[in-house]
Amino acid sequence: MNTPPVKNDFLKALAIAGWGRLWLVALFIRAVPLMRGAEATNNADAVRFAFSAGMFTDVNENDAKASVKAWAQALSRERHVAIGAEPVILTGVAELKQSLRAALIDGAAVPTEEFLELEPELQGTNLFMSFVGNRFTEAYLLLVRADAGIADLRGLRGRKVVLFENIRASLAPLWLDVILSEQGLGTAAEHFGRIVKAPKLSKVVLPVFFRQQDACLVTRRGFETMCEMNPQVRAQLRVLATSPELVPSLGFLRPGFDSPLRDRMMGALRGLEKSAASTQVLTLFQIDQLEEAPAGLLNTARDLVAAHRRLKQTPTIGRHQP
């Protein structure tokens, strides 16, 4: 992925988090009320946002918090945004449910699969999604070398595959399991000889290009980025399967959250791309902006998650053919 040079500690800290998590950092920073100067605010006056640990696929919790703080300080200087409490990172749906029911948090940023588990308790809430390349969604591509003689999914039995480990690819493993099972081939773990994960596009796509791996699963946008960097990638690799368009992650507000801060935060999020500091980082991580989005955009993800749950409930014996 091509990004501008990292010139200072602020951008270095952001680079740790990765572009796929940019918008959730923004949710935390823009959620606190505007104050005179950069004076600290009482935590009771700040919107309490949490992040699922699932949003941070390739960075540890301390590094994630450092990234949030770095951007918070930059926006505090530029926009006089008072800094609230430490960012809260919760592990799993159970902790999210408990915190929401007790009103300990006012919203959260989560992978879509987790949101769908929480959705029955979140009817009518505001949803925010990252808008990239005129889309809220991602499509996933299963790639092989064009000259590998692999004609279909069955031809990958016992082969090696590498998966893109990134929040934008959070639904890719589920989709892979589902398309394999639909053809009677079992799950990915049952079908492939070896599965590895890598957080960098170059470590996902290029091993297939150089015949070190047999296949890779990557976002369409990630594949396009690699093709722009090396046109031979497009010439040598071919798409074996393509997923539907899916929303990989999103942010939401607690339905019972009716503080005056709610409208202030909504306005700040809508204007995120107008902030000089935010625009710099949006460009760095190749994200256009955050936008409020309808729940209907999650329908394809709902169908996929439902199909994967049915798959997990199916007995292993008789599920696939050798």
pLDDT digit string, tens, across residues 295-304 = 999 999 999 9
Does residue 298 lie in a domain region? yes
Does residue 49 lie in a domain region? yes
* Listed residue (74, 129, 133, 128) closest to 288, CA to CA: 133
* Residue 170 pLDDT greater than 50, yes or no: yes
* Listed residue (254, 249, 251) closest to 99, CA to CA: 254
- Do 56 and 112 lie in one domain? The reply is yes
Does residue 98 lie in a domain region? yes
- Do 18 and 121 lie in one domain? The reply is yes
Does residue 1 lie in a domain region? no
pLDDT computed for residue 255 by the predictor:
85
Distance CA 314, CA 322 (A): 17
As a whole number, mean pLDDT of residues 240-244 equals 98
- Do 90 and 185 lie in one domain? The reply is no
80: left (phi over 0), alpha (psi -120 to 50) or beta: left
What is the per-residue DSSP string for 33-57?
Answer: PB-STT----GGGS--EEEEGGG-S
Segment of 60-74, 76-90, 221-235, 272-286 carrying the highest mean pLDDT: 221-235
As a whole number, mean pLDDT of residues 43-49 equals 64
Beta bridge partners of 109: 51, 251
- Do 205 and 262 lie in one domain? The reply is no
Q: Tokens at residue 193, please?
A: 């000889």
Of the candidates 217, 244, 271, which is a domain's last residue? 244
- Do 164 and 266 lie in one domain? The reply is no
- Do 291 and 178 lie in one domain? The reply is no
Sequence-distant contacts of 184-187: CB under 8 A, at least 24 apart = 184/319, 184/320, 184/321, 185/153, 185/154, 185/157, 185/320, 185/321, 186/316, 186/319, 186/320, 187/311, 187/320
Residue 60 confidence class, pLDDT cut points 50, 70, 90: low
pLDDT computed for residue 20 by the predictor:
39
- For 232, the domain range is 140-244
- Do 156 and 98 lie in one domain? The reply is no
Is the pLDDT higher at 149 or at 6?
149
- Do 273 and 160 lie in one domain? The reply is no
CATH of residue 160: 3.40.190.10
Segment of 91-95, 99-103, 121-125, 204-208 carrying the highest mean pLDDT: 204-208
Angle at 63 between CA 288 and CA 51, to 5 degrees: 60
Q: Tokens at residue 292, please?
A: 């409020």
Q: Tokens at residue 276, please?
A: 């000089």
Amino acid at 209: F
Using a cut of 0.85, tell me whether the model's pTM lies above it.
no
Does residue 289 lie in a domain region? yes
As a whole number, mean pLDDT of residues 5-11 equals 39
Of the candidates 211, 244, 277, which is a domain's last residue? 244
- Do 201 and 237 lie in one domain? The reply is yes
Does residue 39 lie in a domain region? yes
Residue 35 confidence class, pLDDT cut points 50, 70, 90: very low
pLDDT computed for residue 276 by the predictor:
59
Sequence length of the chain is: 322
Counted domains in the chain: 2
- Do 61 and 90 lie in one domain? The reply is yes
User: For the purposes of burial, counting CB atoms within 10 Å of the CB of 236, is it exposed (0-12), middle (13-18) or buried (19 or more)?
Assistant: middle
* Residue 225 pLDDT greater than 80, yes or no: yes
CA quadruple 187, 192, 195, 200: dihedral sign: negative
pLDDT digits (tens, 9 = 90+) for 192-202: 999 999 999 99
Residue 55 confidence class, pLDDT cut points 50, 70, 90: confident
* Residue 171 pLDDT greater than 60, yes or no: yes
- Do 146 and 217 lie in one domain? The reply is yes
Does residue 288 lie in a domain region? yes
* Residue 10 pLDDT greater than 60, yes or no: no
- Do 106 and 161 lie in one domain? The reply is no
* Residue 205 pLDDT greater than 80, yes or no: yes
As a whole number, mean pLDDT of residues 233-237 equals 97
Of the candidates 244, 274, 290, which is a domain's last residue? 244
Q: Tokens at residue 290, please?
A: 């955050």
What is the per-residue DSSP string for 197-215?
Answer: EESSHHHHHHHHHTTSSSE
Does residue 316 lie in a domain region? no
